[in-house]
Amino acid sequence: MNQNLSEQEQVRRNSLEQMRQLGIEPYPAAEFPVNAHTAEIKETFTDPAEGEAPREVAIAGRVMSRRIMGKAAFIELQDADGRIQVYISRDDICPDENKELYNTVFKKLLDIGDFVGITGFVFRTRTGEITVHARTFTVLSKALRPLPIVKIKDGVVYDSFDDPELRYRRRYVDLVVNEGVRDIFIKRTKVFNSMRNFFNEHGYMEVETPILQSIPGGASARPFITHHNALDIPLYLRIADELYLKRLIVGGFEGVYEFSKNFRNEGMDRTHNPEFTCMEIYVAYKDYNWMMDFTERMLEKICLEVNGTTEVKVGDNIISFKAPFKRVTMIDAIREHTGIDINGMDEEQLRGVCRQLHIDVDPSMGKGKLIAEIFGEKCEGKYIQPTFIIDYPIEMSPLTKRHRSNPELTERFELMVNGKELANAYSELNDPIDQYQRFVEQMRLADKGDDEAMIIDHDFIRALEYGMPPTSGMGIGMDRLVMLMTGQVAIQEVLLFPQMKPEKLQQ
Q: Is the pLDDT of residue 17 over 90?
A: yes
pLDDT at 450 over 90: no
pLDDT at 476 over 80: yes
Query: Mean pLDDT for the chain?
Result: 93
CB under 8 Å to 314, separation ≥6 — which residues?
418, 483, 484, 487, 488, 489
Of the listed ranges 224-233, 278-287, 388-397, the one predicted with least confidence: 388-397
- Number of residues assigned to the chain: 507
Helix (H, G, I), strand (E, B) or coil at 17: helix
Tens-digit pLDDT profile for residues 456-469: 899 999 999 999 99
User: How do strand 471-477 and strand 420-427 relate by DSSP bridges?
Assistant: antiparallel
pLDDT at 1 over 60: no
User: How far apart are the C-alpha atoms of 59 and 33, rounded to whole Å?
Assistant: 8
Confidence of residue 408 (pLDDT cuts 50, 70, 90): confident
* Residue, of 219 and 180, whose pLDDT is higher: 180
Quick one: pLDDT at residue 157? 65
Query: Does the pLDDT of residue 250 top 80, yes or no?
Result: yes
Which structural domains are found in the chain, ordered by start? Answer: 7-147 (2.40.50.140), 181-494 (3.30.930.10)
Please give the average per-residue pLDDT across 247-268, as a whole number.
96
In whole angstroms, give the CA distance from residue 220 to residue 370.
14
Taking CB atoms within 8 Å and a gap of at least 24, the contacts of 91-94 are: 92/120, 92/133, 92/134, 92/135, 93/134, 93/135, 93/136, 93/137
Q: Is the pLDDT of residue 439 over 60?
A: yes
**pLDDT value, residue 3:** 65
Tell me the per-residue pLDDT of 145-163, one tens digit each, with 9 for 90 and over.
999 977 766 766 667 899 9
Question: Over 80: is that where the pLDDT of 37 sits?
Answer: yes
39-97 tens-digit pLDDT: 999 999 999 999 999 999 999 999 999 999 989 999 999 999 999 999 999 988 887 77
Confidence band of 247 (pLDDT split at 50, 70, 90): very high
Strand partners, 415: 388, 423
Closest CA to 402 of 428, 364, 375: 428
How far apart are the C-alpha atoms of 409 and 387, rounded to whole Å?
A: 19
> Is this structure's pTM higher than 0.75?
yes
- Give the model's confidence band at 274: pLDDT under 50 very low, under 70 low, under 90 confident, else very high: very high
Instruction: Tell which wins on pLDDT, 406 or 494.
Output: 494
Q: What is the mean pLDDT of residues 171-192?
A: 96
Rounded (10°) CA dihedral 379, 381, 384, 388: 40
Q: Where are the beta strands (DSSP E) in 142-215?
A: 151-153, 156-158, 205-206, 212-213
Give the range with max mean pLDDT: 122-126, 343-347, 395-399: 122-126
How many other β-carbons are positioned within 10 Å of the β-carbon of residue 484? 23
Q: In this predicted model, what pLDDT tens digit does every residue of 338-388 receive, in sequence order?
A: 999 998 899 999 999 999 999 999 888 888 889 989 999 999 999 999 999
Q: Which residue has the higher pLDDT, 504 or 29?
A: 29
Mean pLDDT of 181-210: 98
Confidence of residue 36 (pLDDT cuts 50, 70, 90): very high
Read off the DSSP letter of residue 382.
Answer: G
Q: How do residues 306-332 score in pLDDT, each as one tens digit?
A: 999 999 999 999 999 999 999 999 999
Q: Is 120 in contact with 56 (CB distance < 8 Å)?
A: yes
Omega of the bond leading into 28 within 30 degrees of 0 (cis): no
DSSP state of 275: E
In angstroms, rounded to a whole number, what is the distance separating the alpha carbons of residues 112 and 146?
7
